[in-house]
Amino acid sequence: MVGALPQTPPGPEAPDPPDFCSTPRPVGVLLAGGLARRIGGGDKGLRLLAGRTLLDHVVDRVSPQVDALILNANGDPARFAAWALPVVADPVPENPGPLAGILAGMLWAQTNHPAARDIVTVPTDTPFLPTDLVARLAAARAQAGTAIACAQSGDRVHPVVALWPLRLADDLRHALDEGTRKIMAWMERHGYAVATFQANGNDPFFNVNTPDDLAEAARRLG
């Protein structure tokens, strides 16, 4: 089993990051399928931060980096109508976790963006995502020669902030059908690289799970 491969600064022999002017950029998948119990239920992405929803902040960060953007969410899609984004439900019942959202994004991309090779996933409760996220994930994956790349800040790996090749869709569906629910276990099966981002007290992957987190996010913006 192949585990995480630490990212090292590119040296003279390291490949350059992919040129997304000539290579199809990924489809962005905003993961909003969680149950948000720690913040009182409902859609975390619709909570307000500095007068705008968390989803607004995430869309602003991610949309310039992708060729298309979709939202993975269960339930009535009408609550997201204001964003005019395709809303794609989990293809597996009973809220099995982020792997189902990743598969939903892969299947949508295969059908609607046949030129796409990858999706990039991010949760809708991370308002400070890096604006060079996709390029750095792609560079880490190319350097390591792995199938998948995910983000890391400090000593914490963020498996739901990741670049996934569409060629793994069938394997992921099979894994979910067999009962796999742990995202790291499936990633380790295929091997993954990490793109390391500096935290320095302002983690770009800070996520809002509780009312206190929302207050902290507002302080950071303030």
* Kind and range of the H or E run holding 31: strand 27-31
Q: What is the pLDDT of residues 18-55, one digit of tens each?
A: 443 347 999 999 999 655 444 445 689 999 999 999 99
pTM as predicted: 0.87
Domains of the chain (ranges plus CATH)?
25-221 (3.90.550.10)
pLDDT at 42: 67
191: left (phi over 0), alpha (psi -120 to 50) or beta: left
State residue 160 phi and psi, 5-degree precision.
-85, -5
Three-state SS for 43-84 is CHHHCEECCEEHHHHHHHHHHHHCCEEEEECCCCHHHHHHHC
Q: What is the pLDDT of residue 34?
A: 55
Average pLDDT of the chain is: 88
Is 66 a residue whose pLDDT tops 80?
A: yes
Q: Which residue in 60, 112, 54 sits closest to 86, CA to CA?
A: 112
CB-CB contact of 162 with 184 (8 Å):
no
